[in-house]
Amino acid sequence: MKLSQVKGNTWVIEANQLIPLYKLGDGRCVLLDTGLFEEREELEETLLSNGLTPAGVLCSHAHVDHCANNGYFQEKYGTKIALTFPEAGMCSNPLTLKCYFLTLSPERVEQEASFMVHEPDLFIPPTDVTFTLCGARFRIVHTPGHSAGHICTVTPDNVCYTADALLSKELLGAKLPYNLSQKMAIASREKLRGLNCDFYIMAHRGVCAGGEISALIDANQALIRRRAEEILALVDRPMMLSQIDERACVLHRLLTHKPRRSLRFERNVRFFVEYLVDTGKLTESCQNGATYYVPVEYEKAPL
C-alpha cells in the first residue's frame, strides 16, 4: 500500500479506502481507522516497512471497512482504541452488530463480522471536544447520520478526516448511498462547512483543499435529495417496501443474484423510504397487517 503525505505529520495509507494516520515522531503513529479484515496483512506490512507502530486508533465508526482490525492491533501491539459510546456498544457482541447489518440473519452476521467484536480502551466524549490520544491532541466533531456515533477528526495539522460523513467527488454517482439516517447525515455535513481546515480526507477516496469543501458538501446534499426523489417517483400507488426495493434495483441496474448483496440493497432503500416518511413525502398505511407506503400527493388526489 502507498503511504502519502497530506500535510505535516498527517499521512494516508491508500488501501481500499484511505486510512489516515498521524505520526508521533518516535516511530509510533495514531491510525484514524483500520480498514478491512482482508487488508490486515498488507496494512500491517505498510506500517512496519515505514518504521511505524500503531500506538493508538481514533476510530471514526464501527463499520466493517473502518474498524475490522481494531481488535487485532489492540491485542498484538497494545494499541489503544478509542470509540464513541454508540459505536463501542455496537461492537460489543455479534447481535449488537446486527444493528449495523440490519437485514442479515444473526448467524450470518457472526460468520461475516465476528472480528469486529472488541472493547475499546477509551471512550470519546459525546460532545465536540479536543481529545488527547498518545500525547497528540485531536479535535472531535460529532457527525451522526451515517452511523449513530460517527465522528470526523481534525489532526494537529488542521487536516480533517471526514470518514464517511462525506463522499469524494469520484463517488458522487453512488446509486444508494448508505446512511442510517439521511436527515441527520445532511445536518452533519453542514457542520463541516465551518471547520476551516486546510485539507479534508474522505475515506472513499479523495483529498481536497479547504477551499473546495463547500462545493463538495453541496454536491453530496444534492445527491441524497436526488436519489430520494428518484425513489419517491417509483411509488405511484400504495406499495410495500419490497415492491419499492425491487423497482429501485431495476432503476439502478442492481440486478444481483446473490442474496447477501440484495439484502444490503434492501437496507439502503429502506433508509431512503424512512427519509421520505420523515420529510412528509410518504405516509404509512396498513393492509392485512402489512405496512404500505403511500405518496402524500396520491392521498390528496381527488377520487
pLDDT for res 297: 77
Residue 302 has pLDDT above 70, yes or no: no
Q: How many residues does the chain have?
A: 303
pLDDT for res 197: 98
pLDDT for res 301: 53
| Secondary structure percentages of the chain, helix, strand, coil, to 5 | 40, 25, 35
Taking alpha carbons only, the member of 110, 119, 183, 173 closest to residue 146 is 183
- Say whether 51 sits in a helix, a strand or coil: coil
Calpha distance 135→74 (Å, rounded): 18
Cβ atoms of 202 and 166 within 8 Å: the answer is: yes
pLDDT for res 25: 86
Residue range 71-95, pLDDT digits in tens: 999 999 999 999 999 999 999 999 9
Taking alpha carbons only, the member of 251, 296, 287 closest to residue 269 is 251
CA-based angle 57:61:67, to the nearest 5?
55
Torsion angle of alpha carbons 245, 151, 58, 164, nearest 10°?
40
Helix (H) or strand (E) holding 20: strand 18-23
Residue range 278-291, pLDDT digits in tens: 999 999 999 999 99
pLDDT for res 300: 60
Taking alpha carbons only, the member of 241, 248, 232 closest to residue 282 is 232
DSSP string, 208-269: EEGGGHHHHHHHHHHHHHHHHHHHHHH--SSB-HHHHHHHHHHHTT---S-HHHHHHHHHHH
Question: The whole model's pTM is what?
Answer: 0.94
Residue range 33-57, pLDDT digits in tens: 999 999 999 999 999 999 999 999 9
Cβ atoms of 33 and 20 within 8 Å: the answer is: yes
Mean pLDDT of 210-228: 97
Residues pairing with 199 in the sheet: 159, 209
pLDDT band at 303 (very low <50, low <70, confident <90, very high): very low
Residue range 144-183, pLDDT digits in tens: 999 999 999 999 999 999 999 999 999 999 999 999 999 9
Percentage of residues of the chain with pLDDT beyond 70? 98
Calpha distance 95→229 (Å, rounded): 33
Residue range 236-275, pLDDT digits in tens: 999 999 999 999 999 999 999 999 899 999 999 999 999 9
